[in-house]
């Protein structure tokens, strides 16, 4: 029995002498068995390398006889696989080991059993996070060979009364020990404990004949206590045990110092050595690995520097940086994306050079999950095959999404998001879709139905179980711009399909949910659950997906669906095993299910023969590769800052460690992990033997600027290297840049970027890019997409007008439109085309927007005033109680209207409805106050003209004749029309209700943005409602909104509110500036006072104060004629096909222009930098009344002259 250490460093790692000895031993001893033990995750790589090396030696030595037998007698295994190999006939098959989530289930059961004994952790009883922490701690104790008796013995030897802090620490440890004891007892009854593998292997080795066995242990940095126990058994039983460790000196007398580079491996050396000496087993002199000739000589110097630097024994003289030119580069990159792109491009170049294959290259990073979404697209762009040595979680699998959504639908009462998450998992679908032979077409059809059903749900706010029941019929009500209900055949079809899907989903899920609410046992509920999933076709759909992927040749992804289903079945089995007879706890079960899919990993498929490997810095690697790229070497990642998330604090670990034997141990503490960062850096910097590329981003994504890792910075300084800076290529245009280009896609990307930048700056392409340009042009025949991309450089976002016949077919002839639509055209013709030509709109959602609020206000105001007229009650005679009573009655009626279901959908909207009703009450009061002090009376409410389904009192469309004899018909609704007869003339005032204050600018009228009220005035005049001749008194906006009022003292609240309220609800707009008429129309306003009803003020002696909103009779005539002319011009432009992308410049105010706003801006793609896109300047710069009417007169004169010529 002998112990032999083989010490090595990364550049002195040649094991040929050991392999030769193994070959000789196997040849000389036909009964010899060699167990070559390696870490489990390295088994495949190590097996390939060891067997290849040994086979090469056999060929070299000419050993041919019994070659196959010799190779079969050398097996590369992990400790766990060796146990299965040796104990396969004696293994307790009646028990199985639990998964990590199964362990959490067992702990939940344990905590339930000891609940009455819990003190500190009673409140953690049902918390999944705590169960996970317990599972991790107890696994650590089991692998550390620490049983409950050990913990009790350690605690019994300490004084817990020395301080309150010590007492609390002991209470915690005693409670954890009590839970641990019960857990160990229950685990033995139910399952095979995780550490039982090592106990069984240890017992086998100690009792069986091992005289013909030779054991080699390679690839480990540290050993767990269970592994040390098995190593002790090997020391006692096998003729020779060899342990290979990375260390540059022997650690026999003592372990390594705390700051030793080889702290972890040195401690492993010392532990094994101490075990041998404790049993008087001879320890041979250490064998040293030979120089690894694959490494370039420069890396041997780097190896020596890294080891000496750590011991601070003086640095070797820095080599000239030219030594590293072909071996080491340090990149400073603008961002992780630039870093990833340059890595992918450089890999392409290296392989294209013919010196390397993909399998010779590896990518390392501290956080593989973080970088995978940046590096993988660039690898795929360059068509580089890759293998990620990092198992992917099943958390994103559709089955996980389905189960989580299923539970949330039940728990949170059929919320919209949960329902459609389940549907979009596409695991549950009606049988007519599931049984379709053309599964691709069936999937597409199902997605369309789901999308359209979502539109129905969003529009109507269907959320909650009552809306999904079979007896609740959904509707897909549509409203036009005027609030009119419309029903199109397509909407009816959508409504029918949505109702069918709703009914299917409710029938499928509701019976299942009822079983969860019952008091049945877990076994009965989960049996029903499993059968329900089968009946609903969930396993069948997974099999369909698997088969489709197999047919497509994607075997790896096909296996994902099988593995996900098996993970689900395992959780069902383990839950029934542990809780089968207990009442079903849905919350616990689905919490555990969620954790299960988060913790479960897809099995890693070994890499293809030629692919780039991607792995983490912390993972152990079997050997160096020719080329290594290390990404993300910032101060935050190397060294990593460790935190202790264990239930054992560092103080707890110190206390327990003092009472452990040499065959007992805890996991590394945060301090030990921090110290080991130097060793991780050492292994990283020597992970390549020919080319090493070390990079870091100086701008992290969404984070602060980052700095270079101190380990990397020391290497940079010692080697005398300059950082190579890589930035995104569109930042600056230089004649020469440090940039790596990949395949033709990467080359095209950079070339187009340069050409675009040069074009924008009106500069020439740098001469260094000319060869690339010609090279890309030469690839056009084999890659036609290059021509399309290059053509895009000269693309200009110009809009061509429609032919007149197409425009008339699109919009209709004659043209029926509203004034608001024409106003939109005058803001931007292309916006009008998108909204009213193509009829593009964002899907409707049930939300209380301005349109919904306006329709509600308009409807109730109309109902209120109409009811007053029917009751033949003078409006001005109503008191507050009568107003409130009538409004309350009308609100109840309004809420029964399907268009107002939003206000009864939930508590939030109910509260908002109450707020709107309070506002309406205030507005009605102020309108009645105006009626009391002014002369005009309400003549009509919601007076429609030109609308379908009009009542007998409504008006026909307002017709205007265009230049070519075509007609344009205006339609709309006048919110309120007031009239009053004065000196034989009916004076009309048009009132439009608005939920926000309006601005009044003459330049808006001139550009055609504010035509509505004046057009309504023309409609009213044309109808001649009075019959004795009519004139316009004014066009006004009536504010319908709550107003914020500054209140400094609570006592002043009522007085301040009452004083300011009439002013807040004053009519705003343009009026006829006739002093006699104004005095007659509002006799309540005295001289030197402002009218509380209209926007004017008297000076002394009732002289009207100058006001831009007051117009004389001639100005009203000009204004109304101009509005008619503007409407005609706009309609003419629409019908001739004008759709130019020409939005008005928003220099002084923000206008709502759809082509510039989400979501239509993605279609318009307006870009003022593009030569084809330009803002349209305002023709009337200032809001100057005189300038406006001068321009109006000029326009009318030109129009008159033009009409005379045509006539």
Tell me what the mean pLDDT of segment 924-936 comes to: 89
The answer to whether 425 and 402 have CB atoms below 8 angstroms apart is: yes
- State the residue for tokens 């309070």: 918
895 shares a domain with 983: yes
Q: Which residues contact 1090 (CB under 8 A, 6 or more apart)?
A: 1096, 1097, 1098
1096 shares a domain with 989: yes
Query: Which is more confidently placed, 978 or 768?
Result: 978
Q: Which pTM value belongs to this model?
A: 0.77
Task: Convert the pLDDT of each residue in 309-352 to its tens digit.
Answer: 654 544 454 455 556 778 999 999 888 888 898 899 899 889 98
Task: Convert the pLDDT of each residue in 263-297 to its tens digit.
Answer: 999 999 999 999 999 999 999 999 999 999 999 98
In eight-state DSSP terms, residue 501 is: H
Query: Which is more confidently placed, 800 or 1060?
Result: 800
**Residue 380 pLDDT:** 87
Give one DSSP letter per residue of 411-426, joined into a string: HTTS-HHHHHHHHHTT
In eight-state DSSP terms, residue 835 is: I
pLDDT confidence bin for 738, thresholds 50/70/90: very low
In eight-state DSSP terms, residue 834 is: I
**Residue 143 pLDDT:** 87
**Residue 160 pLDDT:** 60
Contacts from 174-178 at CB under 8 Å and sequence distance 24+? 175/118, 175/119, 175/120, 175/121, 176/137, 176/151, 176/647, 177/148, 177/151, 177/152, 178/114, 178/117
Minimum mean pLDDT range among 165-174, 647-656, 710-719: 165-174
Tell me what the mean pLDDT of segment 1015-1037 comes to: 83
**Residue 825 pLDDT:** 95
Give one DSSP letter per residue of 900-944, joined into a string: GGGGGSSHHHHHHHHHHHHHHHHHHHHHHHHHHHSS-EEEEEEEE
pLDDT confidence bin for 184, thresholds 50/70/90: confident
105 shares a domain with 19: no
* Residue ending a domain, choose from 239, 267, 292: 292
163 shares a domain with 54: no
200 shares a domain with 187: no
Would 818 be classed as within a structural domain? no
Interatomic CA distance for residues 250 and 747, integer angstroms: 53
Q: Which residues contact 1058 (CB under 8 A, 6 or more apart)?
A: none
The backbone torsions φ and ψ at residue 904, rounded to the nearest 5 degrees and listed phi first, read: -115, 10
- State the residue for tokens 């003190």: 119
**Residue 247 pLDDT:** 92
Query: Which is more confidently placed, 643 or 55?
Result: 643
Evaluate if residue 470 carries a pLDDT over 80: yes
Would 830 be classed as within a structural domain? no
The answer to whether 588 and 108 have CB atoms below 8 angstroms apart is: yes
**Residue 734 pLDDT:** 42
Mean predicted lDDT score pLDDT of the chain = 84
Instruction: Give the number of residues written for the chain.
Output: 1207
**Residue 732 pLDDT:** 43
Would 454 be classed as within a structural domain? yes
Tell me what the mean pLDDT of segment 226-233 comes to: 92
368 shares a domain with 433: no
Taking the alpha carbons at both ends of the chain, their separation in whole angstroms is 123
Q: Which residues contact 276 (CB under 8 A, 6 or more apart)?
A: 3, 235, 282, 283
**Residue 165 pLDDT:** 59
306 shares a domain with 273: no
In the beta sheet, which residues pair with residue 8?
A: 246
Tokens of 99: 């998964």
Query: Which is more confidently placed, 318 or 399?
Result: 399
448 shares a domain with 338: no
Number of domains in the chain: 6
Q: Which of 57, 86, 90, 51 is nearest to 71 (CA)?
A: 51
Evaluate if residue 794 carries a pLDDT over 50: yes
**Residue 367 pLDDT:** 86
Evaluate if residue 931 carries a pLDDT over 90: no
pLDDT confidence bin for 833, thresholds 50/70/90: very high
Evaluate if residue 507 carries a pLDDT over 90: yes
Q: Which of 637, 630, 622 is nearest to 691 (CA)?
A: 630
Tell me what the mean pLDDT of segment 1082-1090 comes to: 83
In eight-state DSSP terms, residue 1051 is: G
Interatomic CA distance for residues 901 and 921, integer angstroms: 21
Interatomic CA distance for residues 45 and 49, integer angstroms: 6
- State the residue for tokens 């009009």: 950
Q: Is 1191 left (phi over 0), alpha (psi -120 to 50) or beta?
A: alpha
Interatomic CA distance for residues 677 and 696, integer angstroms: 17
* Residue ending a domain, choose from 191, 206, 235: 191
Query: Which is more confidently placed, 801 or 717?
Result: 801
989 shares a domain with 1041: yes
Interatomic CA distance for residues 558 and 892, integer angstroms: 58
410 shares a domain with 373: no
Would 1185 be classed as within a structural domain? no
The backbone torsions φ and ψ at residue 689, rounded to the nearest 5 degrees and listed phi first, read: -110, -5
In the beta sheet, which residues pair with residue 328?
A: 692
108 shares a domain with 89: no
Tokens of 970: 């205006």
Minimum mean pLDDT range among 248-262, 463-477, 939-953, 1120-1134: 939-953
Tell me what the mean pLDDT of segment 1162-1171 comes to: 81
Would 1138 be classed as within a structural domain? no
Minimum mean pLDDT range among 52-61, 898-907, 932-941: 52-61
Query: Which is more confidently placed, 1202 or 48?
Result: 48
Interatomic CA distance for residues 720 and 718, integer angstroms: 6
Which stretch of DSSP H or E encloses residue 62?
none
For residue 12, give the CATH number of its domain: 3.40.50.300
**Residue 62 pLDDT:** 65
pLDDT confidence bin for 85, thresholds 50/70/90: confident
Tell me what the mean pLDDT of segment 1112-1127 comes to: 93
The answer to whether 509 and 405 have CB atoms below 8 angstroms apart is: no
35 shares a domain with 13: yes
Tell me what the mean pLDDT of segment 686-694 comes to: 93
CA–CA distance from 673 to each of 266, 643, 658 (Å)?
14, 10, 19
Percentage of residues of the chain with pLDDT beyond 70: 90
Tell me what the mean pLDDT of segment 830-843 comes to: 90
Task: Convert the pLDDT of each residue in 191-221 to its tens digit.
Answer: 666 678 888 889 999 999 889 999 999 989 9
Give one DSSP letter per residue of 458-494, joined into a string: HHHT--SHHHHSTTSPP---EE-TTS-EE--HHHHHH
Evaluate if residue 131 carries a pLDDT over 60: yes
**Residue 739 pLDDT:** 53
Interatomic CA distance for residues 350 and 304, integer angstroms: 28
Would 685 be classed as within a structural domain? yes
**Residue 736 pLDDT:** 38
**Residue 730 pLDDT:** 43
**Residue 783 pLDDT:** 80
The answer to whether 941 and 865 have CB atoms below 8 angstroms apart is: yes
* Residue ending a domain, choose from 1119, 1140, 1162: 1119
Would 681 be classed as within a structural domain? yes
Side-chain-side CA neighbours of 938 within 13 Å: the count stands at 29
Highest mean pLDDT, choosing among 257-271, 586-600, 892-906:
257-271
Evaluate if residue 1147 carries a pLDDT over 90: no
The answer to whether 1164 and 1157 have CB atoms below 8 angstroms apart is: no
Tell me what the mean pLDDT of segment 176-184 comes to: 88
The answer to whether 422 and 402 have CB atoms below 8 angstroms apart is: yes
Q: Which residues contact 111 (CB under 8 A, 6 or more apart)?
A: 118, 121, 125, 131, 179
Would 73 be classed as within a structural domain? yes
Range of the domain at 253: 2-93+196-292
Q: Which of 194, 202, 236, 229 is nearest to 100 (CA)?
A: 194
In the beta sheet, which residues pair with residue 989?
A: 978, 1034
**Residue 314 pLDDT:** 40
């Amino acid at each position: 029995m002998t112990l032999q250490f083989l010490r090595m460093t990364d550049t002195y790692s040649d094991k040929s002498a050991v392999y030769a000895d193994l070959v000789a031993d196997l040849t000389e001893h036909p009964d010899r068995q060699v167990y070559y033990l390696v870490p489990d995750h390295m088994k495949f790589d190590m097996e390939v390398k060891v067997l290849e090396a040994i086979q090469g030696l056999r060929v070299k030595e000419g050993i041919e006889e019994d070659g196959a037998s010799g190779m079969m007698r050398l097996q590369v295994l992990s400790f766990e696989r060796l146990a299965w190999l040796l104990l396969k006939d004696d293994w307790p098959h009646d028990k199985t080991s639990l998964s990590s989530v199964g362990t959490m289930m067992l702990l939940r059961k344990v905590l339930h059993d000891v609940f009455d004994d819990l003190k500190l952790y009673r409140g953690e009883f049902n918390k999944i996070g705590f169960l996970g922490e317990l599972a991790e701690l107890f696994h650590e104790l089991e692998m550390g060979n620490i049983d409950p008796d050990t913990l009790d013995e350690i605690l019994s030897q300490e004084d817990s009364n020395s301080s309150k802090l010590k007492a609390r620490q002991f209470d915690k440890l005693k409670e954890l020990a009590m839970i641990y004891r019960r857990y160990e007892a229950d685990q033995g009854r139910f399952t095979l404990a995780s550490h039982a593998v090592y106990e069984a292997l240890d017992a086998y080795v100690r009792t069986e004949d091992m005289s013909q066995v030779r054991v080699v242990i390679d690839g480990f940095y540290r050993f767990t206590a269970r592994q040390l126990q098995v190593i002790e058994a090997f020391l006692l039983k096998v003729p020779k045990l060899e342990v290979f460790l990375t260390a540059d000196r022997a650690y026999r007398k003592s372990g390594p110092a705390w700051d030793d580079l080889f702290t972890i491996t040195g401690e492993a050396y010392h532990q094994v050595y101490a075990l041998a000496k404790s049993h008087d087993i001879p320890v041979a002199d250490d064998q040293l690995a030979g120089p690894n000739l694959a490494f370039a000589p420069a890396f041997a110097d780097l190896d020596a520097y890294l080891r000496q630097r750590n011991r601070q024994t003086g640095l070797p003289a820095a080599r000239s940086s030219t030594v590293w030119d072909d071996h080491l580069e340090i990149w400073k990159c603008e961002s992780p994306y630039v870093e990833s792109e340059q890595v992918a491009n450089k890999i392409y170049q290296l392989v294209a050079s013919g010196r390397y294959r993909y399998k010779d290259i590896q990518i390392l990073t501290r956080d593989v999950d973080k970088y995978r979404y940046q590096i993988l697209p660039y690898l795929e762009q360059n068509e580089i095959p890759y293998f990620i040595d990092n198992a992917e979680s099943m958390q994103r699998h559709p089955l996980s999404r389905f189960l989580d959504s299923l539970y949330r639908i039940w728990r949170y009462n059929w919320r919209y998001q949960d329902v459609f998450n389940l549907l979009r998992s596409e695991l549950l679908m009606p049988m007519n879709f599931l049984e379709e032979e053309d599964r691709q077409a069936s999937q597409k059809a199902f997605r369309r139905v789901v999308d359209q059903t979502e539109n129905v749900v969003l529009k109507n706010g269907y959320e909650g179980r009552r809306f999904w029941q079979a007896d609740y019929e959904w509707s897909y009500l549509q409203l036009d711009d005027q609030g009119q209900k419309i029903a199109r055949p397509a909407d009816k079809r959508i409504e029918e399909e949505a109702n069918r899907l709703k009914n299917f989903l409710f029938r499928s899920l509701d019976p299942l949910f009822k079983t969860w609410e019952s008091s049945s046992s877990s076994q009965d509920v989960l049996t029903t659950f499993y059968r329900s999933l089968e009946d609903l076709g969930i396993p069948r759909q997974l099999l369909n997906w698997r088969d489709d992927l197999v047919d497509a040749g994607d075997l790896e992804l096909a296996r994902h669906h099988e593995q996900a289903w098996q993970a689900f079945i395992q959780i069902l089995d383990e839950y029934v095993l542990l809780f089968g007879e207990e009442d079903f706890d849905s919350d616990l079960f689905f919490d555990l299910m969620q954790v299960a899919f988060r913790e479960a990993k897809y099995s890693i498929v070994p890499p293809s023969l030629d692919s780039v490997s991607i792995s983490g810095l912390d993972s152990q690697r079997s050997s160096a590769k020719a080329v290594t790229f290390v990404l993300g070497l910032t101060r935050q990642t190397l060294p990593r800052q460790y935190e202790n998330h264990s239930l054992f604090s560092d103080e707890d670990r110190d206390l327990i460690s003092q009472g452990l034997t040499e065959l007992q141990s805890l996991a590394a503490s945060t301090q030990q992990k921090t110290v080991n960062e130097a060793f991780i850096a050492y292994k990283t910097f020597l992970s390549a033997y020919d080319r090493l590329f070390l990079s870091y981003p100086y701008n992290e994504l969404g984070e602060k600027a980052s700095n270079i890792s101190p380990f990397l910075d020391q290497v940079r300084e010692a080697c005398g290297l300059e950082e190579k800076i890589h930035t995104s290529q569109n930042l600056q245009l230089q004649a020469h840049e440090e940039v790596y280009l990949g395949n033709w896609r990467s080359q095209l990307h950079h070339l187009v970027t340069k050409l675009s930048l040069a074009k924008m700056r009106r500069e020439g392409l740098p001469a260094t890019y000319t060869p690339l340009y010609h090279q890309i042009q030469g690839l056009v025949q084999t890659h036609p997409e290059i021509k399309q991309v290059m053509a895009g450089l000269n693309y200009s976002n110009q809009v061509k007008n429609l032919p007149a016949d197409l425009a008339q077919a699109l919009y209709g002839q004659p043209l029926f439109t509203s004034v608001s639509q024409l106003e939109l055209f005058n803001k931007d013709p292309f916006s009008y085309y998108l909204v009213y030509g193509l009829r593009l709109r964002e899907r409707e959602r049930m939300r209380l927007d301005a349109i919904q609020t306006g329709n509600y206000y308009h409807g109730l105001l109309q109902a209120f005033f109409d009811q007053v007229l029917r009751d033949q009650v003078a409006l001005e005679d109503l008191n507050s109680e009568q107003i409130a009573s009538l409004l309350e009655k009308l609100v109840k009626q309004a809420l029964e209207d399907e268009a107002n279901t939003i206000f009864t959908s939930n508590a939030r909207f109910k509260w908002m409805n109450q707020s709107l009703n309070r506002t309406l009450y205030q507005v009605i009061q102020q309108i009645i106050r105006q009626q009391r002090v002014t002369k005009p009376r309400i003549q009509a409410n919601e007076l429609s003209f030109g609308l379908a389904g009009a009542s007998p009192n409504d008006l026909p469309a307002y017709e205007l004749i265009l230049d070519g004899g075509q007609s344009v018909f205006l339609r709309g609704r006048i919110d309120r029309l007031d009239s009053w007869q004065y000196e034989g003339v009916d004076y009309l005032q048009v009132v439009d209700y608005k939920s926000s204050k309006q601005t009044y600018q003459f330049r808006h009228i001139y550009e055609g943005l504010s035509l509505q009220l004046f057009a309504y005035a023309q409609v009213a005049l044309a109808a001649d409602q009075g019959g004795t001749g009519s004139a316009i008194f004014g066009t006004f906006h009536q504010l319908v909104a709550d107003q914020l009022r500054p209140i400094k003292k609570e006592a002043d609240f009522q007085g301040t509110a009452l004083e300011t309220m009439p002013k807040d609800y004053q009519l705003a707009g343009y009026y006829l500036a006739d002093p006699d008429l104004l005095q007659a129309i509002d006799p309540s306003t005295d001289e030197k006072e402002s009218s509380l009803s209209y926007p004017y003020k008297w000076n002394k002696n009732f002289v009207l104060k100058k006001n831009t909103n007051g117009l004389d009779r001639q100005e009203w005539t000009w204004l109304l004629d101009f509005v008619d002319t503007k409407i005609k011009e706009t309609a003419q432009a629409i019908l001739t096909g004008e759709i130019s992308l020409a939005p008005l410049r928003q220099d002084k105010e923000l206008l709502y222009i759809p082509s510039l706003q989400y979501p239509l801006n993605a279609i318009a793609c307006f870009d003022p930098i593009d030569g084809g896109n330009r803002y349209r300047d305002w023709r009337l710069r200032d809001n100057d009344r005189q300038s406006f009417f001068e321009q109006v007169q000029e326009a009318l004169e030109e129009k008159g002259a033009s009409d005379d010529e045509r006539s």
